[in-house]
Structure 1
Amino acid sequence: MNFTRIFSLCIAFCFLTSCNFNRDQLQQNVVAEGYLIWTGEYSNDGCGFLIEIGSMKYKPENESVIDDKYKTSSRVPVELEFIGLNRIFELSCGESNEIEVIEIISMNEIVDEE
């Protein structure tokens, strides 16, 4: 009886582990142009940085990699490479929405050359 229970637990563990691995394998790097938006400090009811691509907004999990010089009131055009993390972040700052979480791989400001 104990052997059957242990064997079943091992099979379940292997199944669950392989499911997570396959889901992670499906994550691919995406390169896109969008806007970096500074919404304010968390302590002042801001949401930190958001990324807007088309009509969608994303929350960078690793926003600490973004230079403080981008903490401005304007939307900054950027080209970025990121990975979607298949997670939702509940915004409890400013507005109450759910937003997809991403991890920034690289980001460069798009400078208008006129």
Structure 2
Amino acid sequence: MEPRQLTALIVEDDMVIRMVHQKILNSVGLKIQVAENGKEAIEIHGSGQSFDLILMDRDMPVMNGIEATKTLRSMGINSMITGVSTRSVAAHIREFMEAGLDDYVEKP
């Protein structure tokens, strides 16, 4: 039996950042899907899909990463959610972490 391929959902409104994330995750063998905002991420999970890893941008149109993370957690989604943002202010990072993140990484 072949090992199951790990999956990741990239939730990011910036096309260039999405492409960078995709290139990195593809290089380690993850199967990738993308969403351009938090609402799309919620809809993808609502359709029954699940992921091992979710890379969640903080600041996006339609629904931001904080709202999306809270909603996913309230839906019982247990995937590892890593927040990604350019914000380095401790209060902003804490607010994002408290939404239900497992980890946080600052964008370069």
- TM-score (normalised: structure 1): 0.19
* Larger gyration radius, structure 1 or structure 2: 1
Which structure: greater helix fraction? 2
